[in-house]
Amino acid sequence: FDAYLLTANEDAKTKVQDNIFMRAEPSKSTMYIGEPIQVVYRVYTRLSMNAKASRLTAFPGFTSHDFVPEEIDIKPDYFRINGQTYKSLPARIVRLVPLATGMQTIPPLTVTGEASFFRSRYTLEEMAQYGMQDGRSETLPFTISSPPLQVQVLPMPALPPGAKHAMAIGKFKLQWQIQKAADNSFPDTVEIVISGSGNFGRITLPEINWPPGILPFDALETSKIDSQAYPMRGEKRFRIPITVERDGEYVLAALELWFFDADSKQYYSVKADGLSFLGKANAGRQLVDP
């Protein structure tokens, strides 16, 4: 309340400068190239105010995606800074993926708004004694910007022996199975599920070493991802219909994928055992008149 109140000798502009500020707060200040981070542009205030971002900021050296929680009521946070209590709300939340190594700049964001005050003709003690009947409300427009922020982007370490490439950065696990069709009118399906948390944008259909006699169709990809979580959590599912040239038993070799854990700074592999199944020739293949 003391920040909202202007005594007769106080200047409103000075009070705004002393009680409102903004900064960019990254989830990490050091990251690997291709590793997603989240940046929150946060306004801190001790005043009654309303504000909005004056223009969207571009992010050279990054891909960017704004996080807009349409179904979530963002409630203010409160922080104790230098002995004062500040209310804080995000002015913008953006997800970034660095595209180049080295020191990179998170650019400033500018916010414009209006602060509200109650101008008193008395001191606080006099107001407590006589009330606020002789005061008046007033507003003051303001513009604030966050300072530019430097972050460091590291190159990916060398791959371990035996790894062709790392699919994504994060913590993932792998499962797969053969889904048998109910009858010969439909093909069997190989289903691959990659689940966990991290950069799902880099996860693609794994390379499968198809043995002779198996004919795969185009894969169907579906995702079930909580995009409001940071890092993103969920799963990607790939379903590949297959048919075989002749009746018999077929074996798919074990599947191994490599990922990178940025927290431990290490590559790791996830494996799924090989699959064997009995196939029916031409299941799901429809004859077409030439």
How confident is the model over 218-274, as pLDDT tens digits?
Answer: 999 999 999 788 899 999 999 999 999 999 999 999 999 999 999 999 999 999 999
Band (207; pLDDT cuts 50, 70, 90)? very high
How confident is the model over 46-98, as pLDDT tens digits?
Answer: 988 888 877 667 899 999 988 865 545 567 899 999 999 999 989 889 999 99
Give yes or no for residue 120 having a pLDDT over 90: no
87-112: average pLDDT? 93
Q: Which of 142, 151, 153 is nearest to 22 (CA)?
A: 142
Band (197; pLDDT cuts 50, 70, 90)? very high
Give yes or no for residue 184 having a pLDDT over 90: no
pLDDT of the residue at 198: 94
Q: Which of 172, 121, 136 is nearest to 10 (CA)?
A: 121
Among the ranges given (132-146, 148-162, 182-196), the one the predictor scored with the smallest mean pLDDT: 132-146
Contacts of 34 (CB under 8 A, 6+ apart): 97, 98, 156, 169, 199, 202
Give yes or no for residue 121 having a pLDDT over 80: no
pLDDT of the residue at 273: 96
More confident residue, 34 or 283: 34
Strand partners, 116: 48, 139
